[in-house]
Copies of this chain bind each other. A is one copy, B any other.
Amino acid sequence: MFPNSFMFGASLSGFQFEMGNPNDPSELDTQTDWFVWVRDLENLLNGIVSGDLPESGAGYWKSYEKIHQLAVDFGMDTLRIGIEWSRIFPSSTREIPFGEGMLEKLDSIANKDAVEHYRKIMEDMKSKGLKVFVNLNHFTLPLWLHDPLAVRKGKPTDKLGWVSDDAPVEFAKYAEYIAWKFGDIVDYWSSMNEPHVVAQLGYFQILAGFPPSYFNPEWYIKSLRNEATAHNLTYDAIKRHTDKPVGVIYSFTWYDTLKPNNSEIFENAMWLANWNFMDQVKDKVDYIGVNYYTRAMIDKLPKPIEIQDFELNWYVVRGYGYACQEGGFALSGRPASEFGWEIYPEGLYYLLKAIYERYNKPLIVTENGIADQNDKYRAQVLISHLYAVEKAMNEGVDVRGYLHWSIVDNYEWAKGYSKRFGLAYTDFEKKLYIPRPSMYVFREIAKTRSIDQFKGYDPYGLMKF
C-alpha cells in the first residue's frame, strides 16, 4: 500500500513534448542545440540521428489541457514538466552580470510570450488539481551557449556548452529568473535532468548521437563538474524566491558484476556513474529525483584506463542491462525493451536503498518506463517497479512518489519517434492520446494505491527479489 501523500504521476520534458506543428513558428524551439543537431547533414547522412524532427511531436505546447485531463482521468496527481531555457532566453544573457538588478535586466530580454505560456500551462495544472513539478533543464542548451557542430569539428568557439567556464553562472541566472517568475505556483523544483548523461554521451561514449559527440575525457569530467556547480548555485537562487523543495534529477545505474561480489569494480563504477556527481551536490538538495531504467553488467578490464586522475577498471558486458538486443532477451532471460534495455526492477530497489543510505534525503522516482510500442511489457514494468519501490519503503526508505516516463509518446532524441514510452499511444498527426491497456493498470494502481491485486501474476519472474 502506498500512503495518500505518495505522488502518482508522469514526467515530461520540454523539447521532447512541446512542439507539434512545423508550420506554426510560435511553438518552434529553434534556438537550442538539439534543434540544430537533429537536422545536421553529417548526422543525417550517417544515421547518427533518426531523421525524425521534433516539431512533428506530441504538441504539448498547444494540447496541454488535453494531456492534463488525461492525467487526471487516469489517477495522476502530479506532472513533471520542463522549461526550455532557449525559449525564455533565445539570446545570450552573458552581458548581464550576476547579482543586484539582474532579474529586471533579464526580464527585459526574456521572451515574455514563453513566460506567459508556461504560466498558463501551470495554471491549468493547478485548476485540475495537479501538483506542478518543474525541471529547469533537460539536455538542451541555448545555441548561444552551445554550438555542437563547431565543437565536433574542432573549430574555435566560446559556445562550449557545459564545458564553458561561465555555463554555471549563466544557468543560475536563468534559474533565478524562473524562480522569480513562478515561485508562487511551482510545487517541486529540479535544477536539471540527468547531468551525467549529458557529459558522458557528449564527450566520452560518443556514438549515441548526443551533441557534440566529441571525445574528450577531460571535458567529460569538466562538464560534469560545471553541472554540479550550476546546480549548487541554482539551489540558492531558487531558495531566494520560494521555500518549496528543490532537488536534482539523476539517472542512476545499478551495477552487477559478472563475477559475483567483485567489489573493486563495483565501487569504481558506482562512484563514476552515480556518486561522483551526487556527492558534489548533496548539501543542496531537498530531495533526490531518481530516474531508473535498467542496470549495467560489468567485468574487470585487463588493463585499467586512465581518465585524468581516475582509473577506469571495468567494462560493460554485452547481453545485460542497457546492452541487449532491441526487442530481444537479456542473457539473464529477462525481456529487453525496444531500446534493448533489460527489464530489471531489482536494480531500482537496490538503488533506492543505496542512495537513501548514502544521502538520507527523501527520494522521488522521477522517471521509469519502457519503450514498448505494442504494450507487451509495460503493465509488468509498472507493477514490478512499484513492487521495488514498495519493498524499499517497507524497509525504511523515504520515497515520496512515482512519476512514470511518460504519459504520452515523445521524441526520443537521436532515435526520434521510434521509441515509444507513453502510457497513452500518441497519434502524432492527429494529436490523439489513446490510453494503452497498461494505462488502465496504472489507473487501478493509483486509485487503490496498491499493487497487491497484481502480485500473484508474474509471467517474466520480475518480482522474485
Contacts and interface: CB of A to CB of B under 8 A. Distances in A.
B374 A379 contact: no
A8 to B, nearest CB: 16
A91 to B, nearest CB: 27
A109 interface: no
Interface in A131-161: 152-155
Given A45-B204, A440-B444, 16 more contacts: A41-B215, A41-B217, A42-B215, A45-B205, A46-B205, A153-B154, A373-B459, A376-B376, A380-B437, A425-B456, A435-B453, A435-B457, A436-B457, A437-B441, A440-B440, A440-B441
A96 interface: no
Contacts of A305: 41, 45
Given A154-B155, A155-B154, A438 B437 contact: yes
Contacts of A36: none
A460 interface: yes
A440 to B, nearest CB: 5
A219 to B, nearest CB: 12
A434 to B, nearest CB: 4
Counting chain B CB atoms within 10 Å of each CB, the highest count among A214, A305, A457 belongs to: A457
A215 B47 CA distance: 13
A354 interface: no
Contact of A437 (B205, B379, B430): B379
Interface string A411-445: 00000000000000101001010111110110010
16 contacts: A41-B217, A45-B215, A45-B305, A46-B205, A152-B154, A153-B154, A154-B154, A374-B459, A376-B376, A379-B437, A432-B456, A434-B457, A435-B453, A435-B457, A440-B440, A440-B444
Interface in A35-51: 41-42, 45-48
Interface residues of A, number: 44
A207 interface: yes
Interface in A203-252: 204-207, 214-215, 217
Interface in A41-92: 41-42, 45-48
A376 B47 CA distance: 31
Contacts of A441: 437, 440
A379 B374 CA distance: 11
Contacts of A432: 456
A379 B434 CA distance: 14
A454 interface: yes
A379 B372 CA distance: 15
Interface of A: 41-42, 45-48, 152-155, 204-207, 214-215, 217, 305, 373-377, 379-380, 425, 427, 430, 432, 434-438, 440-441, 444, 453-457, 459-460
Contact of A460 (B206, B374, B427, B457): B374
A283 to B, nearest CB: 32
A451 to B, nearest CB: 12
Nearest to A424: B457
Contacts of A217: 41
Contacts of A440: 437, 440-441, 444
A435 B215 CA distance: 43
A270 B393 CA distance: 58
A293 B283 CA distance: 61
A126 B70 CA distance: 38
Nearest to A456: B434
Contacts of A435: 453-454, 457
Contacts of A456: 425, 427, 430, 432, 434
A335 to B, nearest CB: 9
Contacts of A453: 434-435
